[in-house]
Structure 1
Amino acid sequence: MTTTDLQGPERLGTTPLPDGRVLGWSEWGSAYGRPVLLCPGAATSRWLGFGADALRRQGVRLISIDRPGLGASTPAPRRNLLDWATDVQHFSAARELRGLLAVGFSQGAPFALACAAARVVEGAAIVSGGDELAHPALRGLRHPDVARLVVLTATEPARAEAFFAGMSVQMMWDMVIGMSCEADRAVYTEPRFAEAYRRALEEGFAQGAAGYARDTVLAMSRWPFELEALTVPVDLWYGGLDTSTVHSPDQGRTLARRIPTARLHLEPDAGGALLWTHAEPILSALLARCAQRGSP
């Protein structure tokens, strides 16, 4: 990754939803390019994009939306993953988006996959994505600390949500850096990236930690859709050096078996920061697969 690939939002705004809530958003790239929805990682906001140079070369209009309760988006305390897909559908209609694709990074993965399941997007790339950690297929693969949180979420969801609501900007930063491999720490602590990432976290926590807590409960619960029923193309991207305990515990192998349309990309010499170190191939592969299916 070069710092020239990391730029602040080129366009910012909010869009009202039918129920009176608003979604905060930002954009990078061509205002008339192929729209790609970024579902960002845990607790981050619309302020952190990726691959500015790649967006221009690929003709992509990257749109990052704050999930409810984060950044500039109105809270929705009882929401679920499919509610997010409905929000994106309304957002897409309001902004007259055609041929929307999605990129889901880390905790953003289940939100991007919910959009794929609801066919709100025509294809998705999951990058260093969180897995359906509560699924029986992953029992025995999860890190012990993560396994305990999955059990707590399943048995006492309100207590789990209250626990996650104790997170702060500094705690999130320390957790991410602490579980990162050397290659990822080099990316995350590069001064320009660290400044952008910290700003995205501060904006994400601007309304408190409730939005992050709800996201985490949804990510660690059973997902309300069947991955086996997905019909849109899904690219899975993982780095062989990734040491994050909250990403897929087998680097997407179980996900790839469960999703009929999945194609797994494993980069052995990369870490979990693939979104920034491999932006060009991620976007290129997603656009090419959807073009093959006759998408706009």
Structure 2
Amino acid sequence: MNYGVVEPDGIGRTRLPDGRELAWAEWGPRDGRPVLFCPGAATSRWLGFGGSVLEQAQLRLISVDRPGLGASDPAPNRTLSAWADDIRYLIDDRGCGTPLVVGFSQGAPFALALAAAGMAAAVAVVSGTDELAHPRFAGSLVPQVKEMVDLVAQDPETAEASFAGFGSAEALWHLIATTSSEVDRSVYTDPVFQQAFQRAMNEAFIQGPDGYARDTLLAMGRWPFDSSSISVPVDLWYGRQDTSPVHSPDLGESLTRMIPAANRHLLPDAAGSLLWTHTEMVLRTLLDHVR
């Protein structure tokens, strides 16, 4: 199986007003409804999803390298708010109007930042990293994650340096391969999928670990937007077999209550890889919001 992972139909870059460039990849029909994809931690625009589903649904998937990852120019000291500002220009450049947005894993806060800025028609958060620094999780984080969250709050410069010291394609692949559930390992180690996944990770670190480190710092700190201010539909997708300690301690239950138009989908047999095992369900539900 390839789990819908295929070569992009096109790749390119968008120049921003300050001269930096954001790199992107596209799949699906050029005139399809735009779906902006915020990839997970330490992966680049090369790892898409959907395969032939996109053509059938008339959706155009656009995956973007965040600054400092893959082929996007770095932006030291960037914030989630600055990410939204960058994407405004990319949306205009690519003729996306108000796109649908998907955020996978650590891409979740980046997707929700776009929704909070009024830049999304609807959002799908899939196996998403929750706001781990929020007080509602004070007593439910595993010790190692709590240490990271506390360090981000107390000494963000040291935390970012620590993330950079750990960050590499090899280290993160080993972490995924050894801590994922059996459901996820069967997907991630599928020969076709693994090749695509590791290619995307290698590409993500081509400029070094600083982009990954900044992403992790932003995801593990307090988010600069109020989740209750998000007015568009948000679907939160989690699998009960997901063993990641940095996704959501309560599998999106409390975040669903915080976002006014949120709906949680908790799949009993799925795990963190459900973006690829349940692609059609995720996209169909997302598209239903704008039909």
Q: Same fold (TM over 0.5)?
A: yes
Matched residue, 1:58: 57
> Structure 2 matches for 1:11-50, cutoff 5 A?
11-50=10-49
Name the CA distance, whole Å, in 1 between partners of 2:250 and 2:56: 32
Q: Do the aligned residues in 1 keep the contact of 2:3 with 2:49 (CA within 8 Å)?
A: no
Q: Show CA shifts across 1:43-87 (max 9, x none).
A: 100100011121111111000000000001010011100111111
Give the secondary-structure state (helix, strand or coil) at the position aligned to 2:289: helix
Matched residue, 1:218: 218
TM-score, reference length from structure 1? 0.96
Q: Do the aligned residues in 2 keep the contact of 1:34 with 1:99 (CA within 8 Å)?
A: no
Name the CA distance, whole Å, in 1 between partners of 2:48 and 2:258: 29
Q: Which runs of 4+ in 1 moved over 4 A?
A: none
Give the secondary-structure state (helix, strand or coil) at the position aligned to 2:19: coil
Give the secondary-structure state (helix, strand or coil) at the position aligned to 1:290: coil
Shift of 1:4: 6.2
Q: Show CA shifts across 1:99-155 (max 9, x none).
A: 311000000000000000001111110000000000001111111110110000100
Matched residue, 1:187: 187
Matched residue, 1:9: 8
Q: Show CA shifts across 1:179-220 (max 9, x none).
A: 210010000000110000000001000000000000000000
Name the CA distance, whole Å, in 2 between partners of 1:184 and 1:215: 23
- Given the superposition, is the C-alpha separation of residues 169 and 4 from structure 1 closer, same or farther in structure 2, using an over 3 Å criterion? closer
> Which residues of structure 2 form unaligned runs of 5+?
none
Matched to 2:21, the amino acid is V
Matched residue, 2:74: 75
Name the CA distance, whole Å, in 2 between partners of 1:5 and 1:134: 34
Shift of 1:290: 2.5
Matched to 1:212, the amino acid is Y
Matched residue, 1:122: 121
Q: Do the aligned residues in 1 keep the contact of 2:3 with 2:276 (CA within 8 Å)?
A: no
2:159 maps to 1:149? no
Give the secondary-structure state (helix, strand or coil) at the position aligned to 2:151: helix
Matched to 2:245, the amino acid is T
Q: Do the aligned residues in 1 keep the contact of 2:230 with 2:260 (CA within 8 Å)?
A: yes
Name the CA distance, whole Å, in 2 between partners of 1:170 and 1:26: 23
Q: Do the aligned residues in 2 keep the contact of 1:233 with 1:290 (CA within 8 Å)?
A: no
Matched to 1:57, the amino acid is Q
- Given the superposition, is the C-alpha separation of residues 4 and 145 from structure 1 closer, same or farther in structure 2, using an over 3 Å criterion? closer
Shift of 1:9: 1.1
Name the CA distance, whole Å, in 2 between partners of 1:101 and 1:289: 9
Would you say how many aligned residue pairs link Structure 1 and Structure 2? 290
Name the CA distance, whole Å, in 1 between partners of 2:94 and 2:251: 35
Matched to 2:105, the amino acid is S
Q: Do the aligned residues in 1 keep the contact of 2:3 with 2:193 (CA within 8 Å)?
A: no
Matched to 1:156, the amino acid is D
Q: Which moved more, 1:192-201 or 1:89-98?
A: 89-98
Name the CA distance, whole Å, in 1 between partners of 2:30 and 2:95: 12
Matched residue, 2:269: 269
Matched residue, 1:234: 234
Q: Show CA shifts across 1:218-259 (max 9, x none).
A: 000000000011101100000010001110111100110111
Name the CA distance, whole Å, in 1 between partners of 2:219 and 2:148: 11
Give the secondary-structure state (helix, strand or coil) at the position aligned to 1:12: strand
TM-score, reference length from structure 2? 0.98
> Which residues of structure 1 form unaligned runs of 5+?
292-296
Name the CA distance, whole Å, in 2 between partners of 1:19 and 1:122: 27
Matched to 1:209, the amino acid is P
2:231 maps to 1:196? no
Matched to 1:231, the amino acid is S
Matched residue, 2:98: 99
Name the CA distance, whole Å, in 1 between partners of 2:84 and 2:231: 16
Name the CA distance, whole Å, in 2 between partners of 1:165 and 1:128: 23
Q: Do the aligned residues in 1 keep the contact of 2:169 with 2:205 (CA within 8 Å)?
A: yes
Name the CA distance, whole Å, in 1 between partners of 2:91 and 2:4: 26
